Structure 1
Amino acid sequence: MIPIQELLNRIRWDDTFAEGDFLIGYYDRVSGEIIQLPLQQVQLTPGNHFFFQYIGPDGAIREVPLHRIREVYKNGELIWHRGA
């Protein structure tokens, strides 16, 4: 399994691979569930290997550590996952 940073970089820089719809599933410690977000809603800061940001339903900016990403889907197909 490749590190999540490598996969996210490939999505960002490989135009051919990046074609499609991506979902990122991360483990939410509060709810105890996997939360899925469309990649378009995720803000990845270049050079930051620690977390991503997104705006929650309440309008608050959330920061999620990359180590909490558990799964990545491309066009509905699981292409990457990390065990619990």
Structure 2
Amino acid sequence: MMPIHELLSRIRWDPAFGSADFTLGYWDRVQERIVTVPLREATIDPQDHFAFDVVDDEGEVHHVPFHRVRQVFRNGTLIWERPAPP
């Protein structure tokens, strides 16, 4: 399986691949479920190799570690999935 950092780099730097609509699905520990967010709404600092920021419906900013990303969708199709922890 490709590491999430490599997939995000491909989305960023490959114009043909990255021009699609991407969605990240991350594990929310409070809600105990996968929460999906459009990649365009996530703030990814290229210098931060550990997490990204996302704002929820109530306007609260969440700092989400990359290891909690469980799924990535491209144009609605699942293209990447991390196995659930035991």
Kindly report the root-mean-square deviation, in angstroms, between the aligned alpha carbons of the 2 structures. Answer: 0.7
Aligned length: 84
Please report the TM-score for the alignment, with normalisation by the length of structure 2.
0.93
Structure 2 portions without partners, runs of 5+: none
Residue 65 of structure 2: aligned partner: 65
Code of the aligned partner of 1:80: W
Partner of 2:2: helix, strand, or coil?
A: coil
Code of the aligned partner of 2:41: Q
Partner of 1:10: helix, strand, or coil?
A: helix
Report the CA distance between 1:48 and its aligned residue.
Answer: 1.2
Code of the aligned partner of 1:14: D
Residue deviations 1:42-81 (CA, integer Å, cap 9, x gap) = 0100121100001111112110000000000001111100
- 1:27-46 map, 5 Å: 27-46=27-46
Code of the aligned partner of 2:4: I
Please report the TM-score for the alignment, with normalisation by the length of structure 1.
0.96
Code of the aligned partner of 2:28: D
Residue 54 of structure 1: aligned partner: 54
Determine the C-alpha separation between the residues in 1 that align with 2:64 and 2:24. 11
**Bigger share in helix:** 2
Partner of 2:17: helix, strand, or coil?
A: coil
Determine the C-alpha separation between the residues in 1 that align with 2:30 and 2:54. 16
Determine the C-alpha separation between the residues in 1 that align with 2:78 and 2:47. 26
Q: Percent identical across equivalent pairs? A: 48
Structure 1 runs, 4 residues or longer, greater than 4 Å off: none
